[in-house]
Structure 1
Amino acid sequence: MKRSIHYILLICMLCVLYTIYSCNHFSAEQSTTEEIPDTISYNFNIRPILSDKCFKCHGPDASKRQAGLRLDIPESAYSALKDNPAAHALVPGDLDKSELFQRISTSDSSTLMPPPNSNLKRLNQYELALIKKWIKQGAKYEKHWAFVPPKYTPVPEVKDKTWPKNPIDNFILARLEKYNIKPNAEADKERLLKRISFDLTGLPPDLATMDKFLADNSPDAYEKMVDELMAKPQYGEKMALHWMDIARYADSHGYQDDNYRTQWPWRDWVIHAYNENLSYKSFITWQLAGDLMPNHTKEQLLATGFNRNHKITEEGGVIDEEYRVSYVTDRTNTFGKAMIGVSLECAHCHDHKYDPFSQKEYYQVFAFFNNVKEVGIETTVGGPETYAKKPLMQISNDDVKSVLKFVNKKDTGKLIVSIMGDSLNYHKTYILKRGSYDAPGDEVSAGTPKAILPFNDSYPKNRLGLAKWLFDKDNPLTARVYVNQIWQEFFGRGIVKTLGDFGMQGDLPSNPQLLDWLALDFRDHGWNIKRLVKQMVMSATYRQSAVISPEKLKEDPENIMLARGPRGRLPAEFVRDEVLASSGLLTKTIGGPSVNPYQPPGLWENTTSGRGQLASYKQVHGPDLYRRGMYTLIKRTVPPVEMAIFDASNRDQCEVQRLRTNTPLQALLMMNDPTVLEAARVLAAKLLQEKSTANDKIYKAFRLIICRKPTAKEMGILTAYYTEQLQSANKQSADKLLSVGEYPIPPQLDKLDLVTMMKVVDTIYNLEEAITKT
């Protein structure tokens, strides 16, 4: 037995070693065949190598720096070496005198860099060739690419003049042609309709829409469908979902008591703003500083609820100032990640170790958000006032009839929302030593990181001035960051993969020229969001088939070069929406309070303090039971379980991109979730009431759920399963399965027929394609 175990372990170790060797060998082989650019860029060619192989010991982290040498800044790299004043790490134009090149290219293991015992890989021949050419060209350092304002690049010329449909395609195709890769053909109309329907509304197309699109053979059929979908009110819901994650929107305050909050009117405003195509400039300015705008409206005041979506404590015994500082910190960090795409929070306790942001500059940004009329904890208990925290605004029925018509307020009770409002008494801001609320250091005034863009003295030193700084024509980040977020929404991956980190440790853009062109085009066309979205979905790049050939999978497994269409699992909320919409259960009401659909019993009761409105779970009934996923109530300490399983955010903090996992729990959820089973039963009942054959009913169910016509093979499998289940059906198991869900069963239907068709429909819901954008 022991010999067998040892033998198995030996085989495993050999496999691992072979895999490591193969990967390293393949990587080096690939690198040596890549073309050396005519002009070497520090940002795009050299810095990634130094960061990977050198910065561990010769980078910005002073605590780990060796030999007093920094290679991330030219002043140090060009200076005489501490241990050998006659030598220099880099001598522009001179390889022989550049100690760095001598040490990375030597065969002497005693002087080789990185040292063989450092666990860092030796530079391959391609990397050595890049550094060699860079030094010969003068070893020029560059300001970090993301902190340099974007510049227009001429739209590239391409060999295939027939493929591009707009400039986006020229940028994509120019790169593909460089590597002799051909893009995929356009997806078929059924898959294309499903793709744009989910991407523009978050819902599947209905049968009438499918048939209309398939029958329309006009040259502009696709564009007409895009326009039709973008005009639907569901467009605003779809676009708002991503912003809910960024804004850390939730329906509870968080922390131990985690009581209810009425912040949903702000969510109604976001949906409204997207549907009305409010410019991105206004969209952000109102949220950051609507209360500071001259003659501001109540709508602009409501928009500032963005800043108050953070967690708020209601617990006794906490230190007021500690929590007040934590609220300001949250707003500061959210601003950094969401709007300028940098890890500003890393400078909360000390100077940033990688990006050129000092701790002082962090607290200068902090100062913009530090004057709000709020406290760390409010002592008020009971009544609607506890649903929102000061500063706040009340929304009256008259408001809903006039200035706030988009707010879905049905009852006549008080409706109170947390908003922004600065104190008349200026609150001083100090650098907090080690980030501790009770260790103030030097006083600072409002300002911004100089490496990005110095704050213009003509701007007011408040949140309105910060908004003006964001949309200054010289700000290098604002437009880039947002177009990158929207790009991920439609292509599944940002041009910069790290959406929240455009800094030194973030990924380089896969197509920097395209990113800059999009950013400037977006800015120069009035920050028009709908125009930006339409540009993307109208492109030939977006319209490609998502079929993955073995060759393309090997060449580009992550689809970085976009030689195929986007493919990925639907977001958690849209999985629910797809099930409800295709079954006909979906309640399409826009906006309003969040609801509690089905949930396993005892989850809230076992994790709550036992106080407040959310101490126990109270499920809704009737139409509210079938609302879209984005309206499911989010209690921060116990987020909706079905959403969490599908990687939705619990909204504790700003989240610019979700994880995408594929776990057995997701399959178990689809097979056992009451909503899915109920939807299968309801759709089966509707089909059984139609005068058609069993084959026709299955065919229709497949189209409703998968959004295309089934193949003969697929129909054969499903009809065979239907026949098998019909023959083995029994009343006892039928009653148990049919009892799931509250929607009534038509009394005239035979239960055995119903449960059989229900199982077939449920099987279709459990196909991978049902919850995948293809």
Structure 2
Amino acid sequence: MKYKIIVVVILASLVGFLFLYKKGVFDSANDEYADMKLPETVDYNFHIKPILSDNCYTCHGPDANKRKAGLRLDLEEAAFSELSENPGSYALVSKNLNKSVAYQAIVADDKDVLMPPADSKLALNAYEKKLIKKWIQQGAKFEKHWAYISPKKTTAPQTENTQWAQNEIDGFILEKLEEKGLSPSEKASKETLIRRISLDLTGLPPQLEQLEELTGDADVEKIIDTFLSSPAYGERMTQSWLDVARYADSHGYQDDSYRTMWPWRDWVIHAFNKNLPYDQFLTWQLAGDLLPNATKEQVLATAFNRNHPITQEGGVIKEEYRTNYVLDRTNTVGKGILGITLECAQCHDHKYDAISQANYFEMFAFFNQVNEKGLQMDAVQAGKRKFFADPPFLTISKEETEGVLSFVHMDSLPSINVMVMNDSAPRTTYVLNRGQYDQPADSVVPKTPPAIFAFSDDLPKNRLGLAQWLVDEKNPLTARVYVNRIWAMLFGRGLVETSEDFGVQGSLPTHPQLLDWLAVDFMEHDWDIKYLLKKIMLSATYQQKSELLPELKKADPENKLLARAPRFRMSGEMIRDYILTTSGLLNPKLGGPSVKPYQPAGLWEETNAGGNRGILTKYIPGKGSDLYRRSLYTFWKRTLPPPNMTIFDAPTRDFSEVRRQKTNTPLQALVLQNDVQVLEAARVLAQRSIEAEPDNPNVVATIFKRILVRSPRKEELLALNTYYHNALEQYKNDEESAEKLVAVGDFEQLQVSPAKTAALMLTAQVIYNLDETITKE
């Protein structure tokens, strides 16, 4: 009886709730938005379009196949046209709320009329309704999507604080801070800036000798120039580009056998170090083979287009996979260069952006002329790579030393085959029904989406024409997307947070005028990447402290306004390189084939198919200095990327990736506590410190400064010294455990006390495990 009563009460409550919901009683939940202050002028792009995109475009947007009631709200002409299913009515009427059917629907009391409909699980809050109301009252003015309007360089704002700004960037930042009643933070210490700049420009911490030299009289500009001129700069910049280019050392798919693409990676390092302008950097990679009198360096650059996964399985339908490769190249340009989700239009018209399926396959057509022969590079015999490749493969011989080819390390590699681009006879491109390779529909010609920027009739209808369209100063996306990515590299978040998506569903820029200023300034200075980096780093915004004060945490918890410098965890590659550098283990060799550092036993074998591929079947770590190369050179197998990097959010590189996800998991702590590379680095650092100064009473402080690039505070040093001396006493009484602990790693053992090594090794490991060590601040 008791349970029957409970059931009746629950049912009655549910019925009552539904009745009240139908009557609109719970609309008062929106009251929290009702008092929000409306902007003086409602902006379509920044206030209205996000509301329509999130709530209306699914049924009333670009996708003609999903459009309902004959109503389209993403285009001005359509939104103001007579409704085909309701003659005499209009979705929007300028300055007339009563005649604007769309507005009447979003404020309707009748749940059967209310839009969005209840079954969509979408709803506008009171503030959003008031925004739309005021927008219509002000004329319901439409604008082209903000990211599709060519950027314009406005004058930096005048601010109340006239002392803080160091260049134009600071004016834009300070304007937003003053609007919120906030002040910027103090300038960071010289030590902090040296570490920050070194990490940003080389991906490595500064050496103690560098720190002492630069802490003296060097100003910030000299510090920046020092690290920009380092060969490690090219490696640091290349690391990020490998994600965009989906670089790997294996083909992917089930067999996932070896490929040799590292000469292209060497070209990228060289291109960054010699500061190849970004417009040329893109043009060579997309269409270097089509340039007049193309050099081998320019042809080698086109390997960018061939970094995608390739199948070696027997019995596959060749046309299906050929189509997949072309799709991949098209999507990579969309996400990696234009910052738009082109792939959403592969099977149907884009649901949010004005990109039709026909537009997608017009872009596809640029890459559909490629000779795909020779992509089966599967033979690995007796440990030697042997490729059966027709042209378009570039053979690089030891005797051929022009351009970047002399930069490639080939002393022991007399001949290397690299996949590059080579267009064949023209191929007709069709829109593929539902994106399926075997369902061609209407034919199309190479062209770019008109919603972004029209493709000039003067441009060749090939990849070179596409590259020239991309780097045209009137193209609204290319420069914006890249400067935003550089900003994200330095600040942990782009001015547009969704670096991969500048479309309607992407984030709005926090500082739109600054983004445009940077984009135009970048192009005005010949797409000079080092200039762009230096410009940002010389700003007072970049040079602030990263301390999170209570008032800043309350006013701007995500630090979008940048009243302080950002503080964020480094990538897995940077963490590993940081540890190798501070321990003295890092092998600084530049370029060359990929290497295999330590990896947990058994993982490699679990991802192998067939088990009959010789050296591919078993993971064999490198020897000697190869174990300590920069993480950039670590062998990247698509079905098993380096585990100590994927745990820190590295992607698989199956497709182009622009913005890595950031997670915090217990596995990350376990890597820092147990990974052989970390333990060995701590051991080598301890042994070298003891060997250099056997009786140094400040050895813990010295190690601390070497790792963290600053002197320890009194309380930090006390805690670490106590830990060290306690461990030392323990291992003096247990030499066997000490010897077992210090046996880790292949690097040579130095003849110093095992007990002292073990204690200092554990102390160094504690410092390596500190949040500050793996964080850029």
Instruction: Specify if TM > 0.5.
Output: yes
Shift of 1:385: 4.0
2: distance between equivalents of 1:758 and 1:92?
73
Give the match for residue 50 of structure 1.
52
Give the match for residue 574 of structure 1.
574
Shift of 1:84: 5.0
8 Å CA contact 2:370–2:422 kept in 1: the answer is yes
3-state DSSP of counterpart to 1:443: strand
Partner amino acid, structure 1, of 2:167: N
Moved more, 595-604 or 130-139: 130-139
Moved more, 637-646 or 60-69: 60-69
Give the match for residue 584 of structure 2.
584
8 Å CA contact 2:30–2:125 kept in 1: the answer is no
Shift of 1:615: 2.1
Residue 762 (structure 2) aligned to one of 740, 759, 762: 759
Which runs of 5 or more structure 1 residues have no equivalent in the other structure?
11-23
Aligned: 1:738 with 2:742: yes
2: distance between equivalents of 1:402 and 1:467?
22
2: distance between equivalents of 1:176 and 1:499?
23
8 Å CA contact 1:53–1:123 kept in 2: the answer is no
Q: Give the alignment of 1:90-101 within 5 angstroms.
A: 90-101=92-103
1: distance between equivalents of 2:244 and 2:207?
30
Give the match for residue 139 of structure 2.
138
Cα-to-partner distance string for 1:489-539 (whole Å, 9 max, x where unaligned): 111111111112111111111111111111111111111111001111111
1: distance between equivalents of 2:754 and 2:28?
62
8 Å CA contact 1:261–1:386 kept in 2: the answer is no
1: distance between equivalents of 2:557 and 2:582?
32
1: distance between equivalents of 2:427 and 2:464?
17
Give the match for residue 774 of structure 2.
771
Cα 1:427/1:80, change in 2 over 3 Å: closer
2: distance between equivalents of 1:773 and 1:152?
31
1: distance between equivalents of 2:464 and 2:423?
12
Shift of 1:37: 3.0
Shift of 1:66: 4.8
Q: Give the alignment of 1:665-744 within 5 angstroms.
A: 665-691=667-693, 695-729=697-731, 730-744=734-748
Partner amino acid, structure 2, of 1:503: G
Shift of 1:755: 0.4
Residue 638 (structure 2) aligned to one of 636, 641, 644: 636
8 Å CA contact 1:320–1:377 kept in 2: the answer is no
Aligned: 1:104 with 2:106: yes
Cα 1:313/1:114, change in 2 over 3 Å: closer
Q: Give the alignment of 1:607-626 within 5 angstroms.
A: 607-609=607-609, 610-612=611-613, 613-626=615-628
Cα-to-partner distance string for 1:643-687 (whole Å, 9 max, x where unaligned): 111111221110011111111000000000000000000000111
2: distance between equivalents of 1:490 and 1:387?
43
8 Å CA contact 1:645–1:666 kept in 2: the answer is yes
Give the match for residue 21 of structure 1.
none
Cα-to-partner distance string for 1:49-76 (whole Å, 9 max, x where unaligned): 2223433444445565554433323334
Shift of 1:327: 1.0
Q: Give the alignment of 1:291-440 within 5 angstroms.
A: 291-375=289-373, 378=376, 381-382=379-380, 384-386=385-387, 390-400=391-401, 404-423=405-424, 425-440=425-440
Q: Give the alignment of 1:152-301 within 5 angstroms.
A: 152-216=153-217, 221-301=219-299
Shift of 1:467: 0.9
Give the match for residue 467 of structure 1.
467
8 Å CA contact 1:393–1:418 kept in 2: the answer is yes
8 Å CA contact 2:260–2:418 kept in 1: the answer is yes
Cα 1:468/1:590, change in 2 over 3 Å: same
Moved more, 102-111 or 337-346: 102-111
Give the match for residue 14 of structure 2.
none
Give the match for residue 71 of structure 2.
69
8 Å CA contact 2:336–2:500 kept in 1: the answer is yes
2: distance between equivalents of 1:223 and 1:312?
45
Cα-to-partner distance string for 1:206-235 (whole Å, 9 max, x where unaligned): 11122223222x6xx111111001000000
8 Å CA contact 1:541–1:565 kept in 2: the answer is yes
8 Å CA contact 1:367–1:429 kept in 2: the answer is yes
Shift of 1:543: 1.0
**Alignment TM-score, normalising by the size of structure 1:** 0.92
2: distance between equivalents of 1:83 and 1:260?
59
Give the match for residue 21 of structure 2.
none
Partner amino acid, structure 2, of 1:185: E
1: distance between equivalents of 2:192 and 2:34?
37
8 Å CA contact 2:377–2:389 kept in 1: the answer is no
Partner amino acid, structure 2, of 1:472: D
Partner amino acid, structure 2, of 1:444: V
Shift of 1:167: 0.8
Aligned: 1:654 with 2:656: yes
8 Å CA contact 2:264–2:303 kept in 1: the answer is yes
Shift of 1:378: 3.2
Shift of 1:25: 10
Give the match for residue 536 of structure 2.
536
1: distance between equivalents of 2:765 and 2:29?
44
Q: Identity percentage over the alignment?
A: 52
1: distance between equivalents of 2:54 and 2:304?
38
Partner amino acid, structure 1, of 2:524: D
Cα 1:202/1:389, change in 2 over 3 Å: farther
2: distance between equivalents of 1:275 and 1:309?
22
1: distance between equivalents of 2:238 and 2:293?
27
Cα 1:163/1:182, change in 2 over 3 Å: same
Shift of 1:694: 5.5
Which runs of 5 or more structure 2 residues have no equivalent in the other structure?
11-26
3-state DSSP of counterpart to 1:675: helix
1: distance between equivalents of 2:661 and 2:482?
19
Give the match for residue 16 of structure 1.
none
Cα-to-partner distance string for 1:614-645 (whole Å, 9 max, x where unaligned): 22111111111111111110011111111111
Q: Give the alignment of 1:8-47 within 5 angstroms.
A: 29=32, 32-34=35-37, 36-47=38-49
1: distance between equivalents of 2:102 and 2:594?
60
Aligned: 1:515 with 2:519: no
Partner amino acid, structure 2, of 1:453: F
Give the match for residue 20 of structure 1.
none
